[in-house]
Structure 1
């Protein structure tokens, strides 16, 4: 009898993901200025492609610490509203804190699973998700839920990483950890940072879920920091998935992995500092 091939466990994955964000919520909040610099252009492109304007009611899925929710809230103005949702209650506490710090009284937060939105049909003018859709175990279910809560003619816009080759600040650490921890390649259909990045993949996903007028644009999004060591600190503090990948390694082995990652990241240093290669895909679809 042939051995049974390993199967992806979506329930375990989702629970692990929730735990990771519960633990890294504070770090994600503290690194908000870096996130804004890194993803600001892609965020503006996402909001433009979604057609977000004054008075809109916008749903932000996998909102994290809410930095892009603030940008959206300022665009919709006092007559509009942003509902920031996430699977992690801890990270939404920081989103609420950030809203208060920015004087944005038009942001509400709610703990919610993006695959099972506890919201009424047809109640939002637009839905956004920044680097969130890639991590849903059932991306089709998440997209169909976004479609359901949209008003007719409303748009969903999402930001995802493109390919590993275009995102070496992240793909190199992932590759090193996978090699050191002797992890198998991702299973077919398994979510992850590059699960929607290949050409035509996210467009096909939107169309399959029922969206029309689907299109996407590439946005160069270099991660600019003072040094490779600062990039390493950013990833160690904020990217919980990297720690999860190393869960079976000893403390000494983990330190050796981080040392190797830093050496590789140093190839992106220059006299001007650290510039980590990153390319985002911004995709949009419309509800018929």
Structure 2
């Protein structure tokens, strides 16, 4: 009797991802200060490598609650423009709220699928994406769309996680959940947090999509919080992917899993608090 190899369902995955971010939007906004402290250095490197400067038009793909969109908007100034896009309408409402609170007026938000950008060709000087590209079912399609909307001479820059061993604040919970929920290995073609992290993988992806002058830099980005318990609270409230992995377990067992995660993450506590290992890769490519 033949056995059929399970196939990755990209459409189902995308719908689930949208639902996750619709639910996690408020928490992602609420943790924006933590996100800024954690991802600030990598974000500054991304904007620098993208060559973002006064007067430019910038597209932010998978913008989330827009903290990095606001940073970009301040760089381009009142003569520039930032379009923050995401698959989740809820999270973009918080991006707009953050922009209003920061009194930044050169940002617009629009619900948009990063694999099907509904903007004209050659319309932006730069495209950025912070920890978003890793979750696209068709990463090549997303990169080619970014290339399409970029003006000649413009650059695309993206931040992704490197490898699990360098990101134990995240890979430890993923490993525990996978074991406790008896989840099979990821299906072929399935995106995920570490899908572009191995040596040379993101550079190859950019080159395959048609970018030139591709470069990548690794940025040490430790997640600093008061305790392992606070890290668990951050991930429990904000990381939709972990909830998707836990969805098949009864509620009582879910709590037990979070307790196990907290115990394992305590290895990163000291008298200075919690410092979760994290390494980001910032990659850039140019349209010639």
Counterpart mapping for 1:12-91 below 5 A: 12-91=12-91
1:202 corresponding residue in structure 2? 202
Could you state the TM-score of these two structures normalised by the residue count of structure 1? 0.99
Counterpart mapping for 1:142-157 below 5 A: 142-157=142-157
2:253 corresponding residue in structure 1? 253
2:184 corresponding residue in structure 1? 184
Counterpart mapping for 1:214-253 below 5 A: 214-253=214-253
CA deviation after TM superposition for structure 1 residue 113, in Å: 0.2
Deviations, residues 6-34 of structure 1 (Å, cap 9, x unaligned) = 10000000000000000000000000000
3-state secondary structure, aligned to 1:184 = coil
Rounded Cα–Cα distance in structure 2 between residues aligned with 1:126 and 1:162: 23
1:213 corresponding residue in structure 2? 213
1:128 corresponding residue in structure 2? 128
What is the Cα-based RMSD across aligned positions, in Å?
Answer: 0.5
Rounded Cα–Cα distance in structure 2 between residues aligned with 1:278 and 1:4: 37
CA deviation after TM superposition for structure 1 residue 2, in Å: 2.2
3-state secondary structure, aligned to 2:182 = coil
Q: Which aligned runs of 4 or more in structure 1 are off by greater than 4 angstroms?
A: none
Deviations, residues 245-264 of structure 1 (Å, cap 9, x unaligned) = 11110112111100100000
CA deviation after TM superposition for structure 1 residue 133, in Å: 0.1
* Gapped regions of structure 2 (runs ≥ 5): none
Deviations, residues 25-79 of structure 1 (Å, cap 9, x unaligned) = 0000000000000000000000000000000100000000000001000000000
2:272 corresponding residue in structure 1? 272
Rounded Cα–Cα distance in structure 2 between residues aligned with 1:51 and 1:243: 36
Rounded Cα–Cα distance in structure 2 between residues aligned with 1:188 and 1:19: 23
Structure 1 residue 117 corresponds to structure 2 residue 117: yes
CA deviation after TM superposition for structure 1 residue 144, in Å: 0.3
3-state secondary structure, aligned to 1:5 = coil
Rounded Cα–Cα distance in structure 2 between residues aligned with 1:243 and 1:121: 37
3-state secondary structure, aligned to 1:156 = strand
CA deviation after TM superposition for structure 1 residue 154, in Å: 0.4
Rounded Cα–Cα distance in structure 2 between residues aligned with 1:220 and 1:133: 19
Rounded Cα–Cα distance in structure 2 between residues aligned with 1:213 and 1:149: 18
Deviations, residues 98-155 of structure 1 (Å, cap 9, x unaligned) = 0000011000000000000000000100000000000000000000000000000100
CA deviation after TM superposition for structure 1 residue 244, in Å: 1.0
Of stretches 107-116 and 181-190 in structure 1, the one that deviates more from structure 2 is 181-190
